[in-house]
Amino acid sequence: MAPMVTPRLGPDTLDALPAGIRQPGYDRAALRPGVLHLGAGAFHRCHQAEWTDDALEATFGTWGIVDINLRAPDLAGQHGGQAGYFCRELRHVGVRERRLVGAVIDTHTVTNAATLTRALELAAAPAIRVITMTVTEKGYCHTPATGELNAAHPDIVYDIAMPDAPVSVPGFILRALSLRHERGVPFPTILSCDNVPDNGATLRRCVIGLARLSAPAMVPVLEQQGRFLNTMVDRIVPATREADRAAFAAETSVRDEALVVGEPFRMWVIEDPYNSTLPPWHLAGAIVVGDVHPFELLKMRVLNGIQTNVSALGLIGGFEFMSDVMAEPRFRDFARRTMTREVLPGLPDVPGIELPAYVEQSIDRLQNPELRHSTAQIVTDGSQKIRQRLLEPIRACLALGIVPHGLLLGTAAWMQTATGTDLAGRPHEATDPFHPRIRALADGAGSDARALVGALLSIGDIFGDDLTADAAVVDALAERLDGLRQHGVMAMLEAAIRA
């Protein structure tokens, strides 16, 4: 007998889904493309796409989403093979809520010249009035320490030589906007939804910076007509695991290759000085403000700050998931004290948010035992994350005369993970665009913690040039890295808690 094959989620299997799974409450057949999204990973599906379903239910409009990946994974193996449908599952203690999302009506992956041309045509189509993007920090091709375009980035070098066939995100946006300009099609509003400081402004600088080098006639056009919005997005959405998909299939008898699992909490703050026409996301709780900066600082320094500060410590301490890290009372204590003593004093007031309560809420979110967010996933690409999450808060402490014990310990731990070896010198995988450079410096430093700290701090593209010149910072980092190697993670956590 042939083995039973679980049918895949799609238009033909919707009726088979259990009644408990909420289905789109609008006429999906009437959707037309309105939004184009770049970088359709788990976060996008569990945030912008779900949010758009809410908006469509509140007030219907032609705001279907076209998802584009400029590189792998091929979306055909995900919701692209399911007519755009996927389920999102929210989990926390006592919460498990599944919902079918219908807002994505087309998907497209760039794999060669022909698919790139098609993707550019999709982005140049007059029907697209909004472009959103989640391409991760490194997708911006900027220098982390300055937020300026890195003109030496291999993808940017390529796009300067071949502007009609771009491989980078700034190159793709520049080409799509150039096509629209040539054809007299108005520019869409572009919303950056990545954890990059001043994300929209950074994208604008990178696109205009690239135009200066490859399409100078576009510079004044972009300066006058480009609408790049800064936004703050928030929801913890770990990479989906095969165990999640298998459990879904076992419980529903339908296999969803694009399933996403996230937390109930979500937030979206949009700074829109242009009063743009957007899907009615505000009807579903998105907040439109005049200045997103305080919200961005809060989220990157507290929620992301705790994640980055404890994930490297957790990883080298042998903890696989964030929920395991935060289940350990010493880590919770450490996170709370670091935030309260070192981070909150440097934050501005945030409209409508009480900072100590936000810290407690963040800790609760991060210890959510129903999510499996790996410490390694958060450590990934740390060179792109630490400026906004650890280094700026350290600078704020130094300016206020506060010794950043906790932030320094997290930074020292990150330095250890970035070398690709654990505390005992055993190799582990480090995924980071700076890894080859860091590895070479680590080889030069050998087992000397001070030499390693000095060498890494001299990477100005990550650390700027102020910290390496501050002897107290160099000493403190070297002492903590050495302490981690000599005494281990828990002893150093305890010392930081006592400090």
Q: Which is nearer to ligand CS2, 107 or 195 (CB)?
A: 195
Q: Which of 50, 26, 55 is nearest to 37 (CA)?
A: 50
Cβ at position 475, least distance to ligand CS2 in Å: 29
Cβ at position 134, least distance to ligand CS2 in Å: 9
181 binds ligand CS2 (CB under 6 A): no
Cβ at position 295, least distance to ligand CS2 in Å: 12
Residues 384 and 153: their CA atoms lie apart, in Å, by: 14
Instruction: Tell me which stretch binds ligand CS2 (CB under 6 A): 203-211, 233-241, 246-254, 323-331.
Output: 233-241
Binding-residue pattern over the window 192 to 231 for ligand CS2, x denoting contact by CB under 6 A: ---x------------------------------------
Q: Which is nearer to ligand CS2, 307 or 367 (CB)?
A: 307
* Sequence-distant (≥ 6) Cβ neighbours of residue 5 within 8 angstroms: none
Cβ at position 322, least distance to ligand CS2 in Å: 9
Count the residues of the shown chain that bind ligand CS2, applying the rule CB under 6 A: 9
Instruction: Tell me which stretch binds ligand CS2 (CB under 6 A): 85-93, 176-184, 232-240, 398-406.
Output: 232-240
Structural tokens at position 57: 């239910």
260, containing H or E segment? strand 260-262
Binding-residue pattern over the window 369 to 388 for ligand CS2, x denoting contact by CB under 6 A: --------xx------x---
Binding-residue pattern over the window 275 to 304 for ligand CS2, x denoting contact by CB under 6 A: -----------------------------x
Q: Which is nearer to ligand CS2, 230 or 252 (CB)?
A: 230
Q: Are strands 267-271 and 227-234 parallel, antiparallel or unpaired?
A: antiparallel
287 contacts 269 by C-beta, under 8 angstroms:
yes
Pick the binder of ligand CS2 from 44, 129, 138, 235 (CB under 6 A): 235
307 binds ligand CS2 (CB under 6 A): yes
236 binds ligand CS2 (CB under 6 A): yes
Q: Which of 70, 61, 45, 193 is nearest to 120 (CA)?
A: 70
Cβ at position 198, least distance to ligand CS2 in Å: 16
336 binds ligand CS2 (CB under 6 A): no
**What is the SS3 assignment for 286?**
coil
* Sequence-distant (≥ 6) Cβ neighbours of residue 385 within 8 angstroms: 137, 195, 304, 308
Residue with tokens 């998802």: 67
Q: Which is nearer to ligand CS2, 66 or 297 (CB)?
A: 297
* Sequence-distant (≥ 6) Cβ neighbours of residue 278 within 8 angstroms: 130, 189, 191, 270, 272
Q: Are strands 130-133 and 189-192 parallel, antiparallel or unpaired?
A: parallel
387 contacts 462 by C-beta, under 8 angstroms:
yes
Edge to edge, the sheet with strand 260-262 lists 95-101, 86-92, 260-262
Q: Which is nearer to ligand CS2, 241 or 487 (CB)?
A: 241
367 binds ligand CS2 (CB under 6 A): no
Rg of the Cα atoms in the chain? 23
Q: Which is nearer to ligand CS2, 62 or 377 (CB)?
A: 377
Q: Which is nearer to ligand CS2, 206 or 371 (CB)?
A: 371
Q: Which is nearer to ligand CS2, 373 or 480 (CB)?
A: 373
Residues 230 and 292: their CA atoms lie apart, in Å, by: 7
* Sequence-distant (≥ 6) Cβ neighbours of residue 98 within 8 angstroms: 20, 21, 22, 87, 88, 89, 90, 248
Question: Binding to ligand CS2 (CB under 6 A): which residues in 35-94?
Answer: none
* Sequence-distant (≥ 6) Cβ neighbours of residue 491 within 8 angstroms: 483
Q: Which is nearer to ligand CS2, 128 or 462 (CB)?
A: 462
Binding site for ligand CS2 (CB under 6 A): 195, 234-236, 304, 307, 377-378, 385
